[in-house]
Amino acid sequence: MSISDQKRQGEAGYSGRSIPMEKLDTIVASHIEDRQLQPDRQEPVLASVLDRRHERAELRQEHIGDLNRGAAETDLRLKRLYNAI
């Protein structure tokens, strides 16, 4: 932290150590690779994503069916109205 930053922030300013962004990026990326990107961890995650995708597709199909039934019922009512007129 520069002296001007310290003056501006006062006692609330951070006085800890800093780490270069490139080094921090490397550490974080390495940690993610070591812990999260292993095949034994990816399989359950991907299976869960595929299950949710399948469930949502089923819900969309049900919703489309409901909309089609509603449209058919509306058409029938409209035809009845025209016949009554």
Q: What does each of the 85 residues of the chain score in pLDDT, given as a tens digit?
A: 555 666 666 655 566 778 899 999 999 999 988 888 888 888 998 999 999 999 999 999 999 999 999 999 999 999 999 999 8
Angle at 67 between CA 61 and CA 72, to 5 degrees: 125
User: Please, where are the H alpha helices in the chain?
Assistant: 3-9, 21-35, 39-84
Instruction: Give domain limits for the chain.
Output: 48-85
- CA-nearest of 51, 24, 46, 22 to 36 is 46
